[in-house]
């Protein structure tokens, strides 16, 4: 057993303490920072801070209450009152305001509002004016009632057996976080798996394997490699998590919504029971590919065959979100190669029945064990085949011969 | 006591029979030569010996029984093609290979420092293996094989890529290991070196054993096919002699099959050739190798 750990440690150090790994590790958070930066830049460019005007003929805003505070990163827009339309129009022409609203005398009964602008008004400014209007419309009510109406409700959706709950407050985050986690997981799984496949091919090519196998058994060697592969992937995921947590902590100081981010125990549990066996299964497939092919390029092509079904849930994300409990979504949740992504996507939009999680986890554990068994056979048959590819039928056909 | 017992092993890969009913024993403390032309089945036999391949038929006993994980720590194997990680430093490569043989980091350090110094590689230990010359890599491979002080050493073409100085160094090292009681299996195409180092050999060709036994006995068995003659006279063509070869002023007379040296001596005397010397030529291993491989069936 100790030799398995020595193989694992060597593989881990060889790949993790490597410039290529560090570049890969940092490139994802770097890209995320760039993307988030671009989003903020777009928001700030969209966020015209020029004042908004209004002309009130209804008398509703004769003694207006101030607009409610604005959530960051949006900036507050000044709301200016004009006595008549000509004054408002002059201000608009002089570029002092970006838009003005005209509340007709019958506004309260008719509910019609006129808006005048040169260019289409940006949504944050429009929203702030509507909030200002809502505050004043509700000014006669009790403050608590008025606040409740303005804030809206948080709906907690509970499963029939009462075991699981989803909050409407975190709905978009609840969908976004598992999808992001799944994306990071798949990237880490294939990055680490790529290292594993390549190292097996290299060890065949440069004959290192022959030396190693006079010290350890093929099973110890392969087990060590799979442990290293999973550890490399988890290191990558852990490092990204650290970056994300730091990002959220820093961002939460100025972005209100980031303060509410929480990862539920259900998501954590789901990640453990679904993602871990998936990772082991894919690692074993990578070892199998490494053992069967004669060169790394050929192996990369075969990785494509494995990765294609794994990405299917992303291609069908619209259908899954729309009908998260449809036979298609349930079927994809139970199929080993698609279950991890499907489960995480569904987690964000529905309550997945416990039996489906348990069944999927069991199928994945069985698939991981099966793929390790296959990889072990391929490894023993193909480990010393230099420059010659191992046919798949040989893996299944050769019962006992040479094994 | 036999440290390796190979009994009637055969191994096929599809239609190709790589090893066909091969048997030989290697005694403890012996320096044994495993010979054969390219593709003869030597490497497959070694892999069966090391349990990398299971033979289709026959049995292998090593270090007193079937191979197991514990025994691997007592065996040092150096394959013909260098098997070192190219993208890590020599030091780290040796540490890893030593650790897989059950050595602690301190033991690896102590052992590798001795060998690195002896092979003049201390200054190169922090270099990546791929940055070392072919000869240096060969020496590094030898070090990796010896780090854990094996009881059984299997070296496949250990002199490949080495200059005469380093060849001598490796020869001395093998002799030293042999003197310390290590059993050595030497696979090499350099017959002069095998002749110099080994006591017994097995020659495999087309997967079959064609020669096996003590080198002295084999040489004696193959002697009598040529005689060496020294004379100042011109040699006439002689019946029962296939070919006459001149080597450094003396003649080597290759006898026709079935001819005896005594007959040739009688013919020379009858023809009044003044002989300075007449001796039965003992063939080199190289000559025996060529002869056996060319005329398979002449062996054993």
pLDDT at site A400: 47
Identify which of B75, B83, B100 has the shortest CB distance to residue A216.
B100
Would you say residue B61 has pLDDT above 60? Answer: yes
Report the C-alpha dihedral over residues B204, B209, B213, B216, rounded to 10 degrees: -50
Cα A176 to the center of its chain, rounded Å: 5
pLDDT tens digits, A105-135: 998 888 888 999 887 776 778 888 888 888 8
pLDDT (average), residues A44-59: 80
Q: How far apart are the first and last CA of chain A?
A: 20
Is A207 touching B (CB cutoff 8 A)?
A: yes
CB contact (8 A) between residue B72 and residue A402: no
For residues A338 and A321, give the distance between their C-alpha atoms in angstroms, rounded to a whole number.
15
Return the bridge partners of A211, or none: none
CB contact (8 A) between residue A14 and residue B86: no
CB contact (8 A) between residue B88 and residue A14: yes
pLDDT at site A19: 83
Work out the number of other CB atoms within 10 angstroms of the CB of residue A34: 10
Q: How many CB pairs under 8 A join A and B?
A: 66
Q: How far is CA A403 from CA A235, B55, B69, B214, B254, in A?
A: 34, 10, 16, 35, 50
Least confident of A258-267, B93-102, B247-256, B275-284: A258-267
Task: Return phi, psi of residue B147, to 5°.
Answer: -45, -45
Cβ distance B43 to A384 under 8 Å? no
Residues of A in contact with B86 (CB under 8 A): 206
Work out the number of other CB atoms within 10 angstroms of the CB of residue A196: 27
Residues of A in contact with B72 (CB under 8 A): 214-216
Would you say residue A353 has pLDDT above 80? Answer: yes
Identify which of A6, A208, A214 has the shortest CB distance to residue B77.
A214
Structure tokens at B252: 């080597």
Burial of B147 (0-12, 13-18, 19+ CB in 10 A): buried
Considering only alpha carbons, which residue of chain A is nearest residue B13? Answer: A402
Tokens 């495999």, located at residue: B204
Fold of A46-150: D-Maltodextrin-Binding Protein; domain 2 (3.40.190)
Identify which of A208, A214, A220 has the shortest CB distance to residue B85.
A208
Report the C-alpha dihedral over residues B17, B34, B117, B135, rounded to 10 degrees: -60
Q: How far is A373 from chain B (nearest CA, A)?
A: 18
Considering only alpha carbons, which residue of chain A is nearest residue B54? Answer: A402
Helix (H, G, I), strand (E, B) or coil at B93: helix
pLDDT (average), residues B176-187: 93
- Using alpha carbons, select from A231, A314, A250, A226 the residue that is nearest to residue A29: A250
Report percent pLDDT > 90 for chain A. Answer: 16
For residues B73 and B253, give the distance between their C-alpha atoms in angstroms, rounded to a whole number.
51
pLDDT (average), residues B158-168: 87
Q: Is the peptide bond before A73 cis (omega within 30 degrees of 0)?
A: yes
pLDDT tens digits, A199-245: 888 888 777 888 888 888 888 888 898 899 889 988 988 888 888 88
Confidence band of A103 (pLDDT split at 50, 70, 90): very high
Least confident of A176-185, A274-283, B171-180, B267-276: A176-185
Helix (H, G, I), strand (E, B) or coil at A191: helix
For residues B238 and A225, give the distance between their C-alpha atoms in angstroms, rounded to a whole number.
70
For residues A117 and A166, give the distance between their C-alpha atoms in angstroms, rounded to a whole number.
42
Considering only alpha carbons, which residue of chain B is nearest residue A402? Answer: B54
- The DSSP 8-state label assigned to residue B1 in this structure reads -
For residues B291 and B286, give the distance between their C-alpha atoms in angstroms, rounded to a whole number.
9
Choose, out of B18, B50, B55, B83, the residue to mutate when testing the contact with A (most A CBs < 10 Å): B83
pLDDT at site A403: 46
Identify which of A207, A215, A402 has the shortest CB distance to residue B53.
A402
- The DSSP 8-state label assigned to residue B124 in this structure reads G
Structure tokens at A45: 């460019």
How would you write A196-209 as a 3-class SS string? Answer: HHHHHHHHHHCCHH
Which are the contacts of B160, defined by CB distance < 8 A and separation ≥ 6? B80, B138
Work out the number of other CB atoms within 10 angstroms of the CB of residue A356: 17
Is A268 touching B (CB cutoff 8 A)?
A: no
Angle at B111 between CA B107 and CA B116, to 5 degrees: 145
Sign of torsion over alpha carbons A181, A185, A191, A195: positive
Average pLDDT value over all residues in chain A = 82
Residues of A in contact with B84 (CB under 8 A): 206, 208, 211
Least confident of A164-178, B30-44, B91-105, B192-206: A164-178
pLDDT tens digits, A387-400: 566 666 666 665 54
Cβ distance B80 to B157 under 8 Å? yes
Q: How far apart are the first and last CA of chain B?
A: 23
Cβ distance A334 to A359 under 8 Å? yes
pLDDT (average), residues B45-59: 90
For residues B267 and A242, give the distance between their C-alpha atoms in angstroms, rounded to a whole number.
96
pLDDT tens digits, A310-329: 889 988 988 888 888 899 99
CB contact (8 A) between residue A215 and residue B52: no
Structure tokens at A23: 């570049």
For residues B207 and B21, give the distance between their C-alpha atoms in angstroms, rounded to a whole number.
8
Helix (H, G, I), strand (E, B) or coil at A295: coil
For residues B178 and B153, give the distance between their C-alpha atoms in angstroms, rounded to a whole number.
10
Would you say residue A351 has pLDDT above 50? Answer: yes
For residues A283 and A303, give the distance between their C-alpha atoms in angstroms, rounded to a whole number.
11
Would you say residue A291 has pLDDT above 90? Answer: no
For residues A338 and A350, give the distance between their C-alpha atoms in angstroms, rounded to a whole number.
18
Structure tokens at A349: 């939009």
Work out the number of other CB atoms within 10 angstroms of the CB of residue A158: 11
pLDDT at site A179: 77
CB contact (8 A) between residue A216 and residue B101: no
pLDDT at site A128: 86
pLDDT at site A165: 60
- The DSSP 8-state label assigned to residue B14 in this structure reads T
Average pLDDT value over all residues in chain B = 88
CB contact (8 A) between residue A6 and residue B54: no
Would you say residue A99 has pLDDT above 70? Answer: yes
pLDDT at site B284: 80
For residues A180 and A247, give the distance between their C-alpha atoms in angstroms, rounded to a whole number.
14
Is A219 touching B (CB cutoff 8 A)?
A: no
Where is mean pLDDT largest: A144-158, A178-192, B202-216?
B202-216
For residues A99 and B288, give the distance between their C-alpha atoms in angstroms, rounded to a whole number.
105
Residues of A in contact with B69 (CB under 8 A): 3, 216-217, 220
Choose, out of B14, B52, B148, the residue to mutate when testing the contact with A (most A CBs < 10 Å): B52
pLDDT tens digits, B12-37: 887 888 899 999 999 999 999 998 88
Would you say residue B79 has pLDDT above 70? Answer: yes
pLDDT at site B271: 87
Which are the contacts of A15, defined by CB distance < 8 A and separation ≥ 6? A21, A192, A195, A199, A228, A232
pLDDT at site A256: 65
Q: Which sequence spans correspond to the domains of chain A?
A: 2-36+166-400, 46-150
Return the bridge partners of B200, or none: B32, B214
Residues of A in contact with B152 (CB under 8 A): none
For residues B18 and B205, give the distance between their C-alpha atoms in angstroms, rounded to a whole number.
10
pLDDT tens digits, B118-148: 999 999 999 999 999 888 998 999 999 999 9
pLDDT tens digits, A228-239: 988 998 898 888
Provide the H-helix boundaries in chain B: 42-49, 69-72, 90-100, 105-118, 134-146, 164-179, 191-197, 215-222, 261-270, 285-294
pLDDT at site B76: 93
pLDDT at site A233: 87
Q: Buried b / exposed e across A232-256, counting CB within 10 Å, b at 16+?
A: bbbbbbebbeebbeeeeeebeeeee
Would you say residue A198 has pLDDT above 70? Answer: yes
pLDDT at site A401: 44
Would you say residue A190 has pLDDT above 90? Answer: no
Q: How far is B33 from chain A (nearest CA, A)?
A: 20
Considering only alpha carbons, which residue of chain B is nearest residue A220? Answer: B69
Which are the contacts of B255, defined by CB distance < 8 A and separation ≥ 6? B224, B225, B226, B227, B240, B241, B242, B261, B264
Structure tokens at B131: 């940055």
pLDDT at site B181: 92
Work out the number of other CB atoms within 10 angstroms of the CB of residue B97: 28
Is A326 touching B (CB cutoff 8 A)?
A: no
Identify which of A14, A210, A216 has the shortest CB distance to residue B79.
A210
């Amino acid at each position: 057993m100790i030799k398995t750990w020595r193989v694992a440690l060597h593989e881990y150090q060889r790949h993790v303490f490597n410039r290529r790994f560090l570049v890969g590790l940092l490139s994802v958070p770097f890209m995320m920072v760039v993307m988030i930066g671009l989003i903020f830049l777009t928001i700030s460019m969209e966020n015209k801070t020029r004042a908004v005007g209004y002309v009130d003929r209804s008398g509703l805003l004769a003694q207006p209450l101030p607009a409610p505070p604005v959530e960051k990163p949006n900036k507050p827009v000044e709301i200016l009152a004009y006595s008549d339309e000509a004054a408002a129009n002059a201000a608009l022409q002089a570029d002092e305001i970006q838009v003005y609203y005209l509340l007709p005398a019958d506004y309260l009964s008719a509910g019609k509002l006129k808006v005048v602008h040169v260019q289409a008004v940006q949504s944050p400014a429009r929203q702030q004016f509507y909030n200002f209007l809502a505050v004043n419309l509700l000014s006669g009510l009790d403050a608590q009632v008025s606040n409740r109406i303005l804030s809206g409700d948080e709906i907690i959706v509970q499963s029939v057996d009462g075991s699981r709950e989803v909050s409407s407050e975190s709905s978009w985050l609840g969908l976004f976080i598992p999808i992001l986690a799944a994306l990071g997981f798949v990237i880490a799984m294939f990055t680490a798996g790529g290292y594993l496949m390549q190292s097996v091919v290299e060890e065949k090519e440069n004959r290192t394997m022959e030396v190693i196998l006079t010290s350890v058994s093929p099973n110890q060697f392969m087990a060590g490699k799979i442990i290293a592969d999973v550890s490399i992937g988890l290191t990558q995921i852990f490092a990204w998590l650290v970056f994300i947590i730091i990002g959220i902590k820093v961002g939460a100081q100025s972005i209100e919504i980031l303060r509410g981010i929480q990862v539920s125990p259900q998501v954590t549990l789901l990640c453990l029971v679904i993602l871990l066996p998936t990772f082991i299964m894919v690692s074993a497939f990578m070892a199998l590919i490494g053992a069967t092919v004669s060169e790394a390029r050929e192996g990369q092509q075969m990785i494509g065959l494995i990765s294609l079904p794994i990405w299917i849930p992303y291609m069908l994300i619209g259908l899954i979100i729309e009908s998260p409990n449809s036979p298609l979504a349930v079927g994809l949740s139970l199929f080993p190669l698609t279950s991890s992504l499907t489960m995480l996507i569904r987690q964000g939009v529905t309550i997945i029945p416990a039996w489906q999680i348990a069944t999927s986890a069991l199928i994945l554990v069985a698939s991981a064990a099966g793929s390790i068994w296959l990889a072990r056979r391929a490894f023993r048959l193909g480990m010393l085949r230099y420059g010659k590819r191992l046919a798949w039928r040989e893996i299944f056909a050769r019962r006992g011969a040479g094994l | 006591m036999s440290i390796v017992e190979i009994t009637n092993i055969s191994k096929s890969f599809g239609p190709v029979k790589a090893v066909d009913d091969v048997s030989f024993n290697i005694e403890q403390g012996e320096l044994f030569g495993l010979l054969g032309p390219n593709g003869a089945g030597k490497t497959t036999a070694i892999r069966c010996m090391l349990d990398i391949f299971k033979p289709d038929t026959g049995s292998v006993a090593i270090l007193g029984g079937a191979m197991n994980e514990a025994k691997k720590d007592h065996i040092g194997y150096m394959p013909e093609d260098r098997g070192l990680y190219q993208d890590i430093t020599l030091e780290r490569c040796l540490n890893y290979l030593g650790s897989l043989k059950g050595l602690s980091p301190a033991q690896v350090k102590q052992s590798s420092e001795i060998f690195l110094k002896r092979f003049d590689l201390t200054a190169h230990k922090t270099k990546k293996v791929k940055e070392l010359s072919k000869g240096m890599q060969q020496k590094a491979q030898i070090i990796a094989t010896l780090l854990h002080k094996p009881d059984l050493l299997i070296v496949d073409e250990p002199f490949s890529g080495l200059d005469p100085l380093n060849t001598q160094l490796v020869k001395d090292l093998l002799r030293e290991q042999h003197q310390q009681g290590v059993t050595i299996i030497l696979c090499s195409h350099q017959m002069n070196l095998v002749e110099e180092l080994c006591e017994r050999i097995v020659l495999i060709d087309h997967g079959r054993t064609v020669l096996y036994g003590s080198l002295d006995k084999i040489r004696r068995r193959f002697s009598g096919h040529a005689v060496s003659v020294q004379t100042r006279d011109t040699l006439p063509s002689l019946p029962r002699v296939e070919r006459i070869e001149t080597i450094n002023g003396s003649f080597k007379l290759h006898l026709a099959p079935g001819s005896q040296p005594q007959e040739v001596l009688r013919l020379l005397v009858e023809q009044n050739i003044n002989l300075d010397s007449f001796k039965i030529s003992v063939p080199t291993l190289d000559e025996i190798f060529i002869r056996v491989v060319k005329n398979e069936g002449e062996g054993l």
